[in-house]
Amino acid sequence: MDTTTKAPTRQIKVPFHGAELYVVEYNGEPYTPMKPIVDGMGLNWKSQHVKVKQRFASTMVEITMVAEDGKSRLMSCLAVRKLPGWLHSLNIGKIRPELRDRVAQYQAECDDALWRYWNTGIAVNPAQARTGSARSTLTDRADALRSATELVIDRHVPYSAAYKVLQLYAGTLSFRAMTCDQANNAADFGRRLLSHLDTPNDWKQIAQNREDIVGGHVQLPLTGLVHSRLGPTDD
């Protein structure tokens, strides 16, 4: 884990279901202090701090932030692009029953809220996303496109490969041609893929869509259309 006492060049407060979270800039990339997130879910900070440092040591930094009381404090911060992986590593079944709904809420919405505030200064409730067979707009496709960008950063693949795997999952070879439902499905798959939560059924759907798109029963290997670093997660 990198350590620094340098104050962030940009710091944004993010209200989230009664909690106050933050996004800060470090080396041109958004990071988030983890203690407010852990506290917001009602989990134990000391134990979660140890776990997140062990798993995400390479993408954690210590950043000096100015708190509400005007005092500077050193905060353990995780790259926002890695936040979904940590959130979904939390096993709901092992969490106290009274905290499960709260943790599930953070798993479903927290990373999107931080990302949207970082890019636009506003948060959009995922439950308000458009659905249906209408042609999607750029706004509808924003989450899927963000997932593609994160795949490029996280898996070190070309943009064309990241786009292709999400397009094939949605059942199209064009982001612009996606319906609202297809855009939502592509975004959901992108989040699972980034968190290594993709399933064999996801890849069966990609294979089926690939055959439907190219026509008939032409057998094309996935390696010809999907980058090797984007294959199924090992069991």
Q: Report the pLDDT value the prediction gives residue 151, as an integer from 0 to 100.
A: 81
The string of DSSP letters for 153-208 reads HHH---HHHHHHHHHHHHT-S-STT-BHHHHHHHHHHHHHHHTT---HHHHHHHHH
How far apart CA 139 and CA 127 sit, in angstroms, is: 14
Q: Report the pLDDT value the prediction gives residue 33, as an integer from 0 to 100.
A: 94
Question: Is-above-0.75 flag for pTM?
Answer: no
The string of DSSP letters for 54-95 reads HHSGGGEEEEEEE-TTS-EEEEEEEEGGGHHHHHTTS-GGGS
How far apart CA 19 and CA 13 sit, in angstroms, is: 10
φ, ψ of residue 182 in degrees (nearest 5): -65, -40
Q: Report the pLDDT value the prediction gives residue 9, as an integer from 0 to 100.
A: 62
Q: Report the pLDDT value the prediction gives residue 118, as an integer from 0 to 100.
A: 81
User: Which parts of the chain have pLDDT scores under 50?
Assistant: 124, 216-221, 223-224, 235
Query: What residue spans define the domains of the chain?
Result: 2-126, 142-230
Q: Report the pLDDT value the prediction gives residue 142, as an integer from 0 to 100.
A: 80
Q: Report the pLDDT value the prediction gives residue 234, as an integer from 0 to 100.
A: 55
Candidates 2.60.40, 3.40.1580, 3.30.310, 3.10.260; CATH matching 2-126: 3.10.260
